[in-house]
A and B are shown apart, each in its own frame.
Chain A
Amino acid sequence: MTNMLEIAGLTKLFPVRNRFGRKTGDVRAVDDVSFSIEKGKVYGLAGESGSGKSTIARMIMGLAKPTSGDILLSGHSITGETGTRAYGRKVQMVFQNPGSSLNPRRTVGQSIAVPLAAHGTPLGEHKRRIAELLEMVQLPTDFALRYPHELSGGQKQRVAIARALAVAPQLLILDEPTSALDVSVQARVMDLLVDLGQQLGLTYLFISHDLSLMRNFADTVGVLYLGKIVETGPTASVFEAPQHDYTRLLLASVPVISAEEEAMRPKIPLIDGEIPTAEQLIALRDGATPVSQRTET
Chain B
Amino acid sequence: MSDALLAVRNLSVQFTTYGQTNQVLKGVSLDVPARSQIALVGESGSGKTVTMRAIMGLLRTPPAKVTSGEIFYDGHDLLTMPTKERLKLRGTAMSMVFQDPMSSLNPVFTIADQMGTILKYADRRLGRSRGNRERMARVHEVLGQVRMRDPERVSRSYPIMLSGGMRQRVLIAMALLSEPKLLIADEPGTALDVTTQAQILKLLKDLVEERGLALLMITHNLGVVRETSNYVYVMNKGVVVEHRPTADLFEAPRDDYTRALIAAVPRLTGGTSFGKAGAAA
| Residues A258 and B195 in contact, CB atoms below 8 Å apart | no
Q: Which residue of A lies closest to B279 (CB)?
A: A191
Q: Which of B16-24, B107-115, B215-223, B237-245 is found at the contact surface with chain A?
A: B215-223
Within B241-281, the residues touching A (CB, 8 Å) are 250, 260-279
How many pairs, one residue from A and one from B, have CB atoms within 8 Å of each other in the complex? 147
What is the minimal beta-carbon distance from B224 to any residue of chain A, in angstroms?
5
Which B residues are in CB contact (< 8 Å) with A210? 266
CA distance A185 to B51 in the complex (A): 23
Most buried by B among A254, A260, A296: A296
- Return the contact of B265 from the options A191, A212, A249, A276 (Cβ within 8 A): A212
- Known interface pairs A253-B198, A271-B199, A296-B149. Does A183 touch B268 (Cβ–Cβ under 8 Å)? no
Q: Which of A8-16, A67-75, A192-200 is found at the contact surface with chain B?
A: A192-200
Kindly state whether residue A272 has any CB partner on chain B within 8 Å. yes
Which B residues are in CB contact (< 8 Å) with A215? 266-270, 272
CA distance A190 to B261 in the complex (A): 15
Which A residues are in CB contact (< 8 Å) with B145? none
| Residues A255 and B221 in contact, CB atoms below 8 Å apart | yes
| Residues B193 and A48 in contact, CB atoms below 8 Å apart | yes
Within A259-276, the residues touching B (CB, 8 Å) are 260-261, 264-265, 270-276
Kindly state whether residue A239 has any CB partner on chain B within 8 Å. yes
Q: Which residue of B lies closest to A252 (CB)?
A: B198
Kindly state whether residue A295 has any CB partner on chain B within 8 Å. yes
Within B198-246, the residues touching A (CB, 8 Å) are 198-199, 201-203, 220-227
| Residues A296 and B270 in contact, CB atoms below 8 Å apart | no
Kindly state whether residue B165 has any CB partner on chain A within 8 Å. yes
Which A residues are in CB contact (< 8 Å) with B268? 211-212, 215, 239, 251, 254, 256, 261, 264-265
CA distance A213 to B268 in the complex (A): 8
| Residues A236 and B270 in contact, CB atoms below 8 Å apart | yes
Kindly state whether residue B147 has any CB partner on chain A within 8 Å. yes
| Residues B223 and A257 in contact, CB atoms below 8 Å apart | yes
Which A residues are in CB contact (< 8 Å) with B199? 270-273
Within A44-74, the residues touching B (CB, 8 Å) are 48-49
Most buried by B among A193, A210, A254, A265: A254
- Return the contact of A191 from the options B222, B271, B274 (Cβ within 8 A): B274
Size of interface on A: residues with Cβ below 8 Å to B: 50
Within B1-60, the residues touching A (CB, 8 Å) are 43-44
CA distance A187 to B148 in the complex (A): 39
- Return the contact of B195 from the options A184, A261, A275 (Cβ within 8 A): A275
Q: Which residue of A lies closest to B150 (CB)?
A: A296
Kindly state whether residue A182 has any CB partner on chain B within 8 Å. yes
Which B residues are in CB contact (< 8 Å) with A253? 194-195, 197-198
CA distance A254 to B44 in the complex (A): 21
CA distance A258 to B227 in the complex (A): 10
What is the minimal beta-carbon distance from B207 to any residue of chain A, in angstroms?
13
- Known interface pairs A184-B261, A195-B276, A272-B199. Does A209 touch B193 (Cβ–Cβ under 8 Å)? yes
- Return the contact of A256 from the options B149, B223, B279 (Cβ within 8 A): B223
| Residues A184 and B275 in contact, CB atoms below 8 Å apart | no
CA distance A181 to B264 in the complex (A): 12
| Residues A270 and B202 in contact, CB atoms below 8 Å apart | yes
Which B residues are in CB contact (< 8 Å) with A187? 263-264, 266, 274
Which B residues are in CB contact (< 8 Å) with A182? 43-44, 220
What is the minimal beta-carbon distance from B49 to any residue of chain A, in angstroms?
15
| Residues B165 and A211 in contact, CB atoms below 8 Å apart | no
Kindly state whether residue B154 has any CB partner on chain A within 8 Å. yes
Which A residues are in CB contact (< 8 Å) with B270? 215-216, 235-236, 239
- Return the contact of B266 from the options A209, A213, A275, A294 (Cβ within 8 A): A213
Q: Which residue of B lies closest to A215 (CB)?
A: B270
| Residues A296 and B194 in contact, CB atoms below 8 Å apart | no
| Residues A195 and B275 in contact, CB atoms below 8 Å apart | yes
| Residues B266 and A216 in contact, CB atoms below 8 Å apart | yes
- Known interface pairs A182-B43, A190-B274, A255-B223. Does A48 touch B194 (Cβ–Cβ under 8 Å)? yes
Kindly state whether residue A164 has any CB partner on chain B within 8 Å. no
What is the minimal beta-carbon distance from A218 to any residue of chain B, in angstroms?
11
Kindly state whether residue B163 has any CB partner on chain A within 8 Å. yes
Contact with B along A200-217 (1 / 0, CB 8 A): 000000000111110111
| A-B pairs with beta carbons under 8 Å apart, 25 shown | A48-B193, A182-B43, A183-B43, A183-B264, A187-B263, A190-B275, A191-B274, A191-B276, A198-B275, A209-B194, A212-B272, A236-B270, A250-B195, A252-B198, A255-B223, A256-B223, A257-B223, A257-B225, A261-B269, A275-B196, A295-B163, A295-B166, A296-B150, A296-B153, A296-B166
Interface residues of B (CB under 8 A from A): 43-44, 147-150, 153-154, 163, 165-166, 193-199, 201-203, 220-227, 250, 260-279
